[in-house]
Amino acid sequence: MNIQVNTDHNIEGSSELNSYIDSSLSEHFERFKNAITRIEVHLSDENGGKTSSNDKRCLLEARIANHQPVVVSHNADTIHQAIEGASDKLLRSLDTMVGRLTDRTSAKDLLVEEVIIDDEE
């Protein structure tokens, strides 16, 4: 699973932020690590230099093998809260998607083949 971090010009990217994001997302999505090829993280400050509540935004885009990408976003007061909120939303979305894929059964899957044993010897 590859994690790519993108920031706008109002958010300063740092190695500490990147390592926090890597460890947090790797921990949250451990069970999906074989299915997710890449997670793109987009961090932004919607109000620029102004101070207000819920102005930090984290958008997560999970690229899943053989499926459409799953995209969620979360706004919060701090970048860390936005990352945690978005990762929780993405986890719920992936759980729902996996549940839908595994709940589908076709009529062929429900047929039970009879095994005929020939006892003539």
Domain ranges of the chain: 2-110
Of how many residues is the chain composed?
121
Task: For the chain, give the percent of residues with pLDDT over 90.
Answer: 41
Angle between the N-to-C axes of helices 15-28 and 79-103, in degrees from 0 to 180, rounded to the nearest 10: 30
Average pLDDT of every residue of the chain: 81
| Fold topology of 2-110 | Double Stranded RNA Binding Domain (3.30.160)
What pLDDT does 5 receive?
Answer: 92
CB-based contact 61:50 (threshold 8 Å) = no
- pLDDT tens readout for residues 100-120: 766 554 434 433 444 455 555
pTM, two decimal places: 0.76
What pLDDT does 112 receive?
Answer: 41
- pLDDT tens readout for residues 11-40: 888 889 999 999 999 999 988 888 889 999
